[in-house]
Amino acid sequence: MIRERSFLSRVVFAVIVTLGLASAAAAQPGRVGGIVRDEGGEPIKGATITADNENIGSSFTATTDEKGRFTMIGLRAGTWRFIAQAPGFAAQGGDLPIRSGNPNPPVTFTLKRTGPAWTGAMAGIGAKELQTELTAADALFNQQKWDEAITAYRSIMGRSPALSVINLQIAAAYRNKKDYDNAVAAYNALLTIDPQSEKAAVGISQTNIERGDMQAAEDTLVKAASGSGAGREVFYSLAEVKSAKRENDEASKWYEKASQADPSWGKPLYKLGLLARERGDRQRAATLMAQVIAVDPVSPEAVLAKAALDELNR
C-alpha cells in the first residue's frame, strides 16, 4: 500500500534525544511525545506532527495543544520520519529511531516563522477537533477505503487551507486506486503552494513509473534536482531511476549527492556499496557497508549492510 506524508523541502530536525531499540519489549507499542515551539521559545498551538514508517507501512498524525504539546501512542520499534508544521512557519523534520514498550525521551521542534500566523479558517478549528478529524481520515486510509479517505481529507483542507500538505495523502489514495491523473493533480496542487516540495516531485515521478512512463518520471526528477530546494529525496529517487536504466555511473553520482545532503542516511550509502560490489571493488564496497552501519545503525539498510559486509570479509 502506498503511503505519503509531509516531507517538505528545507527540513531541519531539532531533537535532543538518544534512543535505542528495546528488543525485549518489541511487541509492545511505543509512545513518543514532545513540544513544538517558535524561535522565541513560545509554544505553538495547533501545529501538526506526522510520523511515517515506510518500512512497515504505518503513519500517525497528532496536533499540539495550547501549550504546544503532543503525544503519539502505538508506534512500533524502528526508524520513523517525523515532520512538524504550522501555518506561518517553515516545516521541520527528520528521522528518529523509536523503541517499544516504554515512553521515549521527548522530542522538541523549534519552528522558524516564515510569515504571519494563519488567521482564516484554521483559526476557528481547535486542536482536539482537528486531531479527531485527522485520526478518522487516517483510519479510513488504513482500512483502504480510498474514496471515503479522500473525501475526509478534502473536508479538512476545505476548512483548514493551511494544511495543503494533506494533498500528499490524497495523492497516495489515488495512487492506490490506480487513478494516476488525479494523483498527479493532487501533487501539483501542493506544488502550486510549495514549489520546492520534494515529496510532491518524488510522488509525481513514482506515479509516472507506476503507469509505465519511465521517461516522464526521470524528467520530473531532473527538473526537481536542478532547483535550489532539491534535497536527499529527489537525489535518491533520481539515482533509483538511473539504476533501473542500468546507467550506473549516473546512479552513483546521484546516490553520492543524496548522501552528501544527509550524511546520517544509510540508504544511498548502501546502494553505493552494492554498485561497488557489482563493479568488483570489494574494498570500496566493504568501506561503504561499514559506513552504513556506523551512521544509520538501526535502519533496515544496516541489517543488510552487515550481511553484505560479512560476505565481503569471507
Do 174 and 241 fall into the same domain?
no
Is the pLDDT score of 239 beyond 70?
A: yes
Do 123 and 246 fall into the same domain?
no
Is the CB of residue 137 less than 8 Å from the CB of residue 156? Answer: yes
User: Where a domain ends, among 145, 174, 194?
Assistant: 194
Between 56 and 301, residue with greater pLDDT:
301
**How many domains, the chain?**
2
Mean pLDDT of 218-237: 89
Do 237 and 183 fall into the same domain?
no
What's residue 276's pLDDT?
96
Q: Decide if 12 is inside a domain.
A: no
Q: Decide if 8 is inside a domain.
A: no
Q: Can you give the length of the chain in residues?
A: 314
Q: Decide if 149 is inside a domain.
A: yes
Is the CB of residue 86 less than 8 Å from the CB of residue 119? Answer: no
Mean pLDDT of 51-73: 82
Measured distance between the N- and C-terminal CA atoms of the chain, rounded to whole angstroms = 38
What is the extent of the structural domain holding 262?
232-312
Q: Decide if 70 is inside a domain.
A: yes
Question: Sorting pLDDT into bands at 50, 70 and 90, what band is 9?
Answer: very low
Q: Decide if 200 is inside a domain.
A: no
DSSP H helices in the chain:
127-142, 146-159, 167-176, 180-193, 198-210, 214-225, 232-244, 248-261, 266-278, 282-295, 300-312
pTM for this one?
A: 0.68
Lowest-pLDDT range of 8-12, 237-241, 254-258, 268-272: 8-12
Do 293 and 184 fall into the same domain?
no
Do 169 and 237 fall into the same domain?
no
The listed range with the strongest mean pLDDT (16-25, 144-153, 229-238) is 144-153
